[in-house]
């Protein structure tokens, strides 16, 4: 009887060596893929916030007085409710009693309002905005800014040629945006309000 044919399988030692080579190749392949992921180009950086004009960081809108009354605890302050295009009017406090009587500072009058300031207490009354006015250097004469005919309540006040989304109230306060804008507000020879002469 002839001997049975010998097995063609490689010895166990050879199998183990082959398995190690396979793992090594797989490992090297995995490392290569990870390396390729690291070489991806980074996303372009966002434009710095400083590039946005200061004026556009404020939410300045056309408002309309809906109710006004003297502050009960201050002779200098008017309390008012102002419609600014939201569901309900905002309550605002203005130090204008020395410059405007009840017949002038009354419901129906349009004003210009800064709407993204943090609420502040004025003699115990919470003010949710600020009415903009023009004044002489010594503040002996103060006048409300006039709103152009046809301007809609809630309409944002823009300056031609510049744009940007207004900041949140906390950011306006933190970045001192109002403090930066006010020194550059003025009126020209025709009593038109300007910022940086625009």
pLDDT 10s digits, 83-124: 999 999 999 999 999 999 999 999 999 999 999 999 999 999
Burial class (CB in 10 A: 0-12, 13-18, 19+), 172: buried
The 10 Å CB-count burial string (b at 16+, else e) for 174-183 is eeebbeebee
* C-alpha triplet 181, 123, 155: angle, nearest 5°: 40
The answer for residues whose C-beta is within 8 angstroms of residue 175's C-beta and 6 or more apart is 57, 167
* 73 neighbors 122 (Cβ within 8 angstroms): no
**pTM to 2 decimal places:** 0.74
CA–CA gap between residue 63 and residue 103 (Å, rounded): 18
* Mean of pLDDT values over 149-173: 96
Burial class (CB in 10 A: 0-12, 13-18, 19+), 58: buried
Residue 71 structure tokens? 């502050």
pLDDT score recorded for residue 66: 98
Which residue stretches of the chain are H helix? Answer: 12-38, 169-174, 177-181
pLDDT score recorded for residue 17: 47
CA–CA gap between residue 168 and residue 182 (Å, rounded): 18
pLDDT tens digits, one per residue of 164-196: 999 999 999 999 999 999 999 999 989 899 999
pLDDT above 50: residue 13: no
pLDDT category at 40 given cuts 50, 70, 90 is: low
The answer for residues whose C-beta is within 8 angstroms of residue 56's C-beta and 6 or more apart is 158, 162, 163, 164, 165, 166
pLDDT above 80: residue 42: no
Q: In the 8-state DSSP scheme, what is residue 56?
A: G
């Amino acid at each position: 009887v002839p001997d049975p044919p010998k097995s063609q399988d490689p010895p166990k030692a050879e199998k183990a060596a082959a398995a190690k080579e396979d793992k090594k190749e797989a490992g090297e392949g995995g490392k290569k893929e990870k390396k390729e992921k690291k070489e991806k180009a980074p996303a372009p950086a966002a434009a710095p916030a400083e590039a946005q004009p200061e004026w556009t960081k404020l939410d300045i809108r056309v408002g309309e007085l809906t109710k006004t009354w003297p502050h009960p605890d201050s002779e200098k302050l008017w309390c008012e409710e102002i419609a600014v295009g939201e569901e309900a009017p905002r309550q605002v406090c203005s130090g204008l009693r020395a410059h405007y009587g009840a017949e002038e500072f009354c419901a129906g009058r349009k004003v210009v309002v800064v709407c993204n300031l943090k609420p502040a207490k004025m003699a115990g009354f919470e003010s949710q905005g600020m009415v903009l006015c023009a004044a002489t250097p010594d503040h002996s004469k103060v006048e409300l800014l006039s709103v152009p005919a046809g301007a809609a309540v809630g309409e944002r006040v823009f300056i031609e040629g510049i744009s940007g989304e207004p900041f949140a109230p906390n950011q306006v306060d933190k970045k001192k945006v109002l403090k930066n804008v006010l020194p550059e507000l003025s009126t020209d020879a025709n009593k038109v309000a300007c910022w940086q002469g625009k």
